Chain A
Amino acid sequence: MSALTELFAAPGLDSTRFATHLSQRSYLPDWWLETKKAAWNQFCALPMPSRTDETWRFSSLSTLDLAGFELPEDASQHIPNLSDFPHAAEIIFSNRQLVARSTVPADLVAKGVIFAPLDDAIVQHGELIKKYFQKLPANLGSEKFVALNTAFSASGALLFVPKGVEITEPFVVQHTLSGANKATFPHTIVILEDNAKATLVEFFVSADKGRHLASGVNDLHAGPGAQLIYVGAQNWSADTLAFQTNSIVAERDAKVLSLNVHLGGRQARHESHSRLLGPGAHSEMLALTVATGDHEFDQRTLQTHVAPNTTSNLLYKNALLDKATTIFSGLIIVEPDAQKTDAYQKNRNLLLSDEAEAHSLPGLEIQANDVRCSHGSTSSRIEPEQEFYLQARGINPEAAKQMLVFAFFEEVLNKLENEALHASLSTLIESKFKK
């Protein structure tokens, strides 16, 4: 535990605080409390990332300072309304506390759909959680922060859609954080059984300009033939240290689309691992980032093709302004049995400032021969001709630039095929350009 004392020299997330966190949850089943204890021990045992970690290449390590963060006591009064699109049901957390929850439509409940806050789900649907909770271990570098998440997770949700149930309107989970030095550890689990269809939209936002720590984890599981759309949009304060780790499992003929929108945070790291387990499985991995100020956005991805005849497609687009930095490090792994894999990976960086910096490490590890795998990376500016064309039509230079950035993002947002959600996310992205 001594390493820990060093990490949290100031009162914060130390072992005393962890003990309190556990005792406040004594109503939860033992297996869950044991899981948390194991995670806490793992967090204490794991070293902080170091310069020689290939998974942290180009990342700033000196600013990964966890000291002084604490769990918030009270919910904030200010809850922004982000779900301005038709949705099936909504769960809202403010400072780790459940503050609002809309009822799940009766017909869905009748069909066996579960949409519940994490702690409730652990009590009521323990077996289900046990079966799917972190079945795909984090392996892209943030193991330590994932362990911290499990130790302290309280907010989060379970979405379970039974066999054959198709729901068009999205479910929404919102996490809001406020107050200085506050931390949150959301964990959301989505389970779609055979041929089920559902969408989950998750928002992560700061309600004030406080220094925040957020470490979120998602387990997304699409059973055979299921179709899952997951959207995670974060707009943390400009002083937030944020980690998010998503695991996606796609079974036979399942289709998963995940879109992550990154707008906030001083240093935000996002890891996403798709594992294609059955033939016909497809994973569409999308991300949009608007990086401003001197902030760093670090994105690490892995597309693992385990079974033959699987497909994956990744498209990560970054717009960089000011002195911002982005890092994209992606890898496609084709395991020896995964013949007939068709995998693609593309990172496109739009540099809008002379001081912005984009790092790109697109990777391939191919161990089967009958495959089609490719990747591409581009880093460039807006074409001056395009800007000129818009200006020649009376659009001012700033507006023209913004239009071109939005045009750059449209390719990704169009893949959602949901106009209302598309418009809502566009508005959120636009807010980032209004200083």
Chain B
Amino acid sequence: MADIDTLPSTDEAPAEVNPVGGIDQAVGDFQYNVNYEFDAGTGLSEDTVRYISSVKKEAPWILEFRLKALKTFLDKPMPTHWATKDLENIDFSKIRYYLSQGQKPKRTWDEVPDDIKKTFERLGIPEQERKFLAGVEAQFDSEAAYSNIKDIVAKQGVIFCNSTEALREHPEIFKKFFGKVIPTGDNKFSALNSAVFSGGSFIYVPPGVKVAQPLQAYFRINAENFGQFERTLIIADEGAEVVYMEGCTAPKFSTSTLHSAVVELVALKGAKIQYITVQNWANNVFNLVTKRGVAHEDAEIKWIDCNIGSRLTMKYPGVVLKGKRARGEVISIALANDGQHQDTGAKMIHAADDTTSVVVSKSISVGQGRATYRGQVHIPKHLKGCKNNTECDALLINTNSRTDTYPAITVRGDTHSVQHEASVSKVNEEQIFYMQQRGLTEAQAMSLAVNGFVNDLVRQFPMEYSVELKRLIDLEMEGSVG
């Protein structure tokens, strides 16, 4: 697997291949900038941060914010007393913290590892999307093709752009909410993101506006979204509703080893936000993401999170239930195959009366894969009538598969109702036998059983994702039997 050391150096002459090969250039009206002049180099220092900020022509307050975050990052120890030791293998000095557009397209399709190519094939991803997902090229044509969605929502007053643009064009809204849900010092990786963030989406939905179609980052992505430190901020004003989707079922092939995003959601009174992530990282990536939303009175935030791939994922989407009757939900699926550790979970912080939260987590461990659920439900004093229900189910496929569950529940007061239930099991042998009786091979039967295990959750995904997810599970289950 390629790692950071094999990333082509910036001094190298562009490869012979056409960097935009495979794209029908007749589609869309785009310009392609082949001058890849911005590169912050490897390692992290104050200079790196100043460099990023200057390239982006940022206001002084944001540079100050970044520098302060850098200090916090450097001061904060790694979370070692509970987290996996694998975190210690991240070499921060070897990471590139900023590459401007165009750096990645220099890679050729030949450099993409075979197993990733195979996944693309099997999922039936169109060639154009394959190349984009493999980071071989930027999908400017899609920007054009889908920009009409952006236009439609703009007519409703919705702002949908990347975070750099938002900083420039909507500083008044951006500044008001930015870094408020997830403070810089929340954890070491949120501090890192705050120092070097680049790319990510900004969405503002005005009061009462219900965005009919899901907003998809993937189809409006521009070069900056390749950023491994993206920063997303979504604000749904009073009574507004929005669905946001990111990621894809195909592997995101990255030569970087660290992905550390921060996603902040703000649902004002009566608003609804649904955030759907389907991620399938290449096996060398440390995926350390902080995601949290604040739900005000009668608001609802729902995280739908699917984690596949990566070497180590640590991600615990959370909701702070700040207003009365606010509702939070986390639906998560994790699939850990050989050499992977999916350390995922959910945080529900109740901070107002009559708030309710639901967590449903399903994990599958294949081969030597390890899936961990880590959760937190917190109901502090002086609240009334809060409810939480958490369900975790883990499925173990092979004898050496591993799963862990570590919830932490704090309840204060006598008017609440909290329940947590987790179960660990293997695929029902009778089911497999029954399916084999009807002519399925053991592997097919196993895939069907695993798909059945996650089916009620997969149905909550948009159609095109749920179809690909099923295929992906088939693929992951191949060779895992026996």
Contacts and interface: CB of A to CB of B under 8 A. Distances in A.
Interface of A: 52-54, 57-58, 336, 339, 349, 351-381
B31 interface: no
Interface size class of B (residues with CB under 8 A): 35 or more
Contacts of B403: 364, 366
B315 to A, nearest CB: 19
B317 to A, nearest CB: 20
A11 to B, nearest CB: 36
Interface stretch (B114-122, B331-339, B404-412): B404-412
B416 A360 contact: no
Given A358-B409, A369-B398, A381-B417, 11 more contacts: A361-B408, A362-B405, A362-B407, A362-B420, A366-B402, A369-B365, A369-B397, A369-B400, A371-B424, A377-B420, A379-B411
Given A52-B81, A58-B410, A369-B426, A364 B416 contact: no
Contacts of B422: 362, 364, 374-376
B54 interface: no
Given A374-B423, A376-B420, A379-B411, A368 B82 contact: no
Contacts of B396: 366, 368-369, 371
B428 to A, nearest CB: 11
A364 B415 CA distance: 28
Interface in B380-423: 381-382, 394, 396-423
Most buried by B among A349, A369, A377: A369
B420 A360 contact: yes
Given A370-B426, A371-B425, A380-B417, A363 B411 contact: no
Contacts of A358: 409-412
Contacts of B410: 58, 357-360
Contact of B409 (A339, A359, A368, A374): A359
Contacts of A360: 407-411, 420
10 contacts: A54-B82, A58-B410, A353-B413, A363-B406, A366-B396, A366-B404, A371-B396, A372-B423, A375-B422, A379-B411
A365 B399 contact: no
A375 B421 contact: yes
Contacts of B421: 374-377
Contact of A366 (B394, B412, B415): B394
A401 to B, nearest CB: 11
B408 A57 contact: yes
A379 B81 CA distance: 27
A356 B423 contact: no
A357 B381 contact: yes
A410 B288 CA distance: 46
A364 B424 contact: yes
A355 B426 contact: no
Contacts of A372: 423-425
Contacts of A377: 407, 409, 418-421
Nearest to B82: A54
A58 B408 CA distance: 10
A379 B418 CA distance: 5
A354 B413 contact: yes
A379 B409 contact: yes
A376 B82 contact: no
A339 B411 contact: no
B412 A357 contact: yes
A432 B302 CA distance: 44
B416 A380 contact: yes
Contacts of B399: 336, 339, 368-370
Nearest to A363: B406
A360 B424 CA distance: 19
A54 B83 CA distance: 11
Nearest to A377: B420
A316 to B, nearest CB: 13
Contacts of A336: 399-400
B413 A363 contact: no
Interface string B211-238: 0000000000000000000000000000
Given A52-B81, A351-B413, A371 B426 contact: yes
A57 B407 CA distance: 12
Contacts of B394: 364, 366
A366 B82 CA distance: 17
B392 to A, nearest CB: 9
A375 to B, nearest CB: 5
In the A-B complex, the 5 residue pairs with the smallest Cβ-Cβ separation, listed nearest first, are A369-B396, A374-B423, A379-B411, A357-B412, A364-B405
A377 B408 CA distance: 10
B424 A378 contact: no
A353 B414 contact: yes
Contact of A361 (B382, B404, B406, B419): B406
